[in-house]
A and B are shown apart, each in its own frame.
Chain A
């Protein structure tokens, strides 16, 4: 009942671990698959060289979510093969998230992750807290188109493009990615935000600004998925503030074929994937549906 297919990849349930949460090591990813119950896991975004990221505080809690600026910290693609190998022991599809500072970097890292045995590539063109990487490519139709095209030349795996609502017209970016050969769209990544401490009068985050995630961005994410799904033919993966089965169902109704969960790990623990899956199942049963597919895009009709 919960099984879905995404670009030829079968998921035992439609909940995926979102990139950037618990994804730095194979051990963490494996735990999310095995104990957490995720249908697929997306790695932390990997780049060409090791990066320590921004200094602490890298995460601050606010009502309704989190603001974080980890700064694309990662061990670099050469060292990540071991982590992918361990992650794959989790028995669910592993999606390799990739960032870069130019097209060639995106393409080389994607190619390397493919050689490590990932099941798909997710291009991080949504991350907003490092100057000319990530979202830099997701703010422009031309750059988004080019990065997808260059990566598609190098890999044969399905390629997802993860977009940011910080773009002026996210639907136009989605269409540009589709034209360039993207196999799916993930929407959305964290939104630029900040927090200032009243006692010291200073920004709390080491990077001063960070990405807002969690329940407070859900309505924005849902609107993006709805508008994108109406305009593109490729699958859309919903991401942004999903914490319950009801949240996930809203995204399916808006046209998403699967959902990614990140910040909700904080509120409901690592088993949030199991819990959300069970809640989706209850919704389907109570409303007389026999599969997730039956409700995908109902709100668009």
Chain B
């Protein structure tokens, strides 16, 4: 049973101007890529990927709408309801791993990098953000022994441009056993296209509007493949996503209507 546990916030870390990490008084073991449903009593409940997966569980959140704005007002000692960790986490194959994370999408990739590096694997992470001050977990991955390549939209750090520009250049020179990506879905679709050309198996972590979070309401089912993001996902293999006409194109709002990324059909 996925019972809701109401737990205290132990620590809050301000990562960037718009991103905070909440470390919870909840000692559970999660697989990087899994998510928890986070209930803010009286407000709402939303899925968040786990950014600290062992020991006290952590989530890393971008302030975006009403729910995250209310979350950002909380202090250590305040309460959150947690269901999970749930869903399918990343599965690591091979020894040379490539991570591509955009914005707050680096959240589930950081614990993956730490665990892989601890097991003696090689990790290269391409991290992108709109600007230098919004880059997430660069130090954390470097501290764990990973190599980090950076892109920023405005060129304030690393390469000016997108993670996919760095990725394209990198794959001219090097190859990897496996790629993991999380970030805006249009970015992930481009990552899959690039790694696909090079024959690098890739796993992507998807975000969808969730209701039940336990695989019964149908809200997050992907068109074409019928897989539930909350249950068979949120991480998917490239070969699964290539069969879905929805991936990289649209998501469904709370009413189940298709909403196209970037507003175009």
List A residues at the B interface (Cβ < 8 Å): 20-28, 30-31, 35, 44, 50-53, 55-61, 63, 66, 68, 70, 73-76, 79, 86, 197, 199-200, 202, 204, 206, 262-263, 265-266
- Determine the chain B residues whose CB is within 8 A of the CB of A27 once the complex forms: 221-226
Partner of A58, one of B1, B42, B212: B212
Contact between B212 and A68 (Cβ–Cβ < 8 Å)? yes
Contact between B41 and A202 (Cβ–Cβ < 8 Å)? yes
Contact between A24 and B44 (Cβ–Cβ < 8 Å)? no
- Determine the chain B residues whose CB is within 8 A of the CB of A24 once the complex forms: 217-219, 221, 252, 256
Stretch at the interface among B2-10, B145-153, B186-194: B2-10
Contact between A79 and B257 (Cβ–Cβ < 8 Å)? yes
Residue B92 CB within 8 A of the other chain: no
Contact between A204 and B39 (Cβ–Cβ < 8 Å)? yes
A30 with B226, Cβ < 8 A, contacts A199-B6, A202-B42 known: yes
- Determine the chain A residues whose CB is within 8 A of the CB of B29 once the complex forms: none
Q: How far is the CB of B246 from the nearest CB of chain A, in Å?
A: 8
Contact between A59 and B257 (Cβ–Cβ < 8 Å)? no
Contact between B6 and A197 (Cβ–Cβ < 8 Å)? yes
Partner of A206, one of B45, B218, B221: B45
18 contacts between A and B (CB under 8 A): A20-B217, A24-B221, A27-B223, A30-B226, A31-B221, A52-B253, A52-B255, A57-B4, A57-B45, A58-B217, A61-B1, A68-B212, A70-B217, A74-B255, A74-B256, A76-B257, A79-B257, A265-B215
A266 with B216, Cβ < 8 A, contacts A50-B255, A74-B256, A75-B256 known: yes
- Determine the chain A residues whose CB is within 8 A of the CB of B81 once the complex forms: 57, 197, 200, 204
Chain B interface residue count, CB cutoff 8 Å, equals 38
Residue B138 CB within 8 A of the other chain: no
Leading 8 A-B pairs by shortest Cβ distance: A31-B226, A56-B45, A52-B254, A22-B218, A199-B6, A28-B221, A59-B212, A50-B255
Partner of B211, one of A59, A75, A263: A59
Q: How far is the CB of A214 from the nearest CB of chain B, in Å?
A: 10
Tell me, in angstroms, the Cα distance from A58 to B230 when the chains sit together.
15
Partner of B255, one of A75, A200, A262: A75
Contact between B256 and A25 (Cβ–Cβ < 8 Å)? yes
Residue B54 CB within 8 A of the other chain: no
Q: Per-residue 0/1 for B219-236: is the Cβ within 8 Å of any A Cβ (1 yes, 0 no)? A: 101111110100000000
Closest to A72 in B: B255
Residue B46 CB within 8 A of the other chain: yes
Residue picked from A27, A74, A197, A262, most chain B C-beta under 10 Å? A27
- Determine the chain A residues whose CB is within 8 A of the CB of B41 once the complex forms: 197, 200, 202
A200 with B6, Cβ < 8 A, contacts A22-B216, A24-B256 known: yes
Closest to B5 in A: A199
Closest to B214 in A: A266
Residue B12 CB within 8 A of the other chain: no
Q: How far is the CB of A218 from the nearest CB of chain B, in Å?
A: 17
Contact between A73 and B256 (Cβ–Cβ < 8 Å)? yes
Tell me, in angstroms, the Cα distance from A11 to B232 when the chains sit together.
29
Residue picked from B39, B79, B211, most chain A C-beta under 10 Å? B211
Tell me, in angstroms, the Cα distance from A31 to B215 when the chains sit together.
13
- Determine the chain B residues whose CB is within 8 A of the CB of A53 once the complex forms: 211, 254-255
Residue B105 CB within 8 A of the other chain: no
A59 with B4, Cβ < 8 A, contacts A73-B255, A204-B39, A206-B45 known: no
Tell me, in angstroms, the Cα distance from A26 to B44 when the chains sit together.
27
Tell me, in angstroms, the Cα distance from A25 to B222 when the chains sit together.
9
Closest to B47 in A: A56
Closest to B80 in A: A200
- Determine the chain A residues whose CB is within 8 A of the CB of B222 once the complex forms: 27
Contact between B79 and A200 (Cβ–Cβ < 8 Å)? yes
Contact between A59 and B216 (Cβ–Cβ < 8 Å)? yes
| Beyond known contacts A50-B256, A57-B45, A197-B4: 20 more, CB 8 A cutoff | A20-B217, A22-B216, A22-B217, A25-B252, A27-B224, A27-B225, A28-B226, A31-B226, A35-B226, A44-B256, A52-B254, A56-B37, A56-B210, A57-B4, A61-B214, A73-B211, A74-B256, A200-B81, A263-B216, A266-B214
Closest to B219 in A: A24
Tell me, in angstroms, the Cα distance from A57 to B211 when the chains sit together.
7
Closest to B39 in A: A57
Closest to A199 in B: B6
Contact between B224 and A73 (Cβ–Cβ < 8 Å)? no
Within 8 A of A (CB), among B192-221: 210-219, 221
Tell me, in angstroms, the Cα distance from A24 to B251 when the chains sit together.
13
Tell me, in angstroms, the Cα distance from A75 to B217 when the chains sit together.
14
- Determine the chain A residues whose CB is within 8 A of the CB of B37 once the complex forms: 56-57
Contact between A61 and B2 (Cβ–Cβ < 8 Å)? yes
- Determine the chain B residues whose CB is within 8 A of the CB of A50 once the complex forms: 255-257
